[in-house]
Every structure is written in structure tokens, then in C-alpha cells.
């Protein structure tokens, strides 16, 4: 039996109490990927910082002798992190505040770093909801 995607989202809304598709950049499939990978219980991550670090979306802090060696993000193989990055990439043409944030970061740092920065912001919003 083939279920309609909106029917699945209605069921997820009833379970979680939050409509995640209202976040700019999140579509139905992205939400399903995120909820299947992360679940509905955020208590396994004590803080937002732990959550974004686990996803590999926060800047690194490799410092030795008081000198910053690298602030590059860790490479993590995670479907959830990839889903956040794909959602962030769709913000480039969005007229929302998140789209403006992506374009500002893109002008400053370039597209790959802007995608990671916007994905980090989306992950923080997702965690709070």
C-alpha cells in the first residue's frame, strides 16, 4: 500500500506536535530523513552545541601553542548532516531571512562554507523545535 507523503507528515505532526516543513528549506522528504535519523527525543544531546558537533556542522578548534592551526569542520558521514546541507543549499533563491543569511555568508566566504554555515543554523532551529 502506497501512502501519500502529506498523510505521513500529518501523522508526524500528530506524534511530534511540530510542523517541521514550515522551516524554510525543509521539504517533506528532508523532514522524513531527519526524523528517521535523529528521532523525536533530543535529550540524548545535552545542548545544541553537542548536537551540531555530532553532525559535523560546527567549526573546528585546532589550537596549539595559542596559535589557530585550523578551524575547518570535521568530515562526518551522516545522512542527517547531508540533509541539513541540502536544505541549506535550497536557501540560495529563498526570499526569507534564512535565504538572506545564506547569501551574506556566500558573499563573505564562498558557497561551500556558506552551505555549512546555513546548515548549522538550520540544525539549531531543528533542535529547538
Residue 106 main-chain phi, psi, to 5 deg: -65, -40
Q: Please give the pLDDT value at position 1.
A: 46
DSSP type of residue 115:
H
pTM above 0.75, yes or no: yes
Q: Is the dihedral of CA 99, 101, 107, 113 positive or negative?
A: negative
Q: How many domains does the chain have?
A: 1
Quote the percentage of the chain above a pLDDT of 90. 33
C-alpha cell at 87: 536544505
36 vs 1, more confident: 36
95: containing domain? 5-128
Burial-class residue 40 by CB neighbours within 10 Å (0-12, 13-18, 19+). Answer: exposed
Residue 81 has pLDDT above 80, yes or no: yes
Amino acid at each position: 500500500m502506497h501512502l501519500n507523503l502529506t498523510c505521513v507528515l500529518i501523522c508526524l505532526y500528530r506524534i511530534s506536535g511540530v510542523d517541521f516543513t514550515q522551516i524554510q528549506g525543509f521539504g517533506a522528504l528532508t523532514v522524513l530523513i531527519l526524523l528517521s535519523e535523529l528521532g523525536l527525543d533530543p535529550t540524548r544531546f545535552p545542548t545544541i552545541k553537542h548536537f551540531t558537533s555530532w553532525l559535523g556542522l560546527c567549526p573546528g578548534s585546532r589550537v596549539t601553542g595559542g596559535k589557530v592551526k585550523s578551524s575547518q569542520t570535521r568530515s562526518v558521514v551522516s545522512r542527517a548532516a547531508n540533509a541539513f546541507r541540502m536544505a541549506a543549499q535550497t536557501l540560495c533563491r529563498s526570499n526569507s531571512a534564512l535565504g538572506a543569511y545564506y547569501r551574506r555568508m556566500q558573499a563573505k566566504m564562498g558557497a561551500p562554507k556558506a552551505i555549512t554555515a546555513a546548515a548549522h543554523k538550520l540544525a539549531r532551529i531543528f533542535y529547538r523545535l
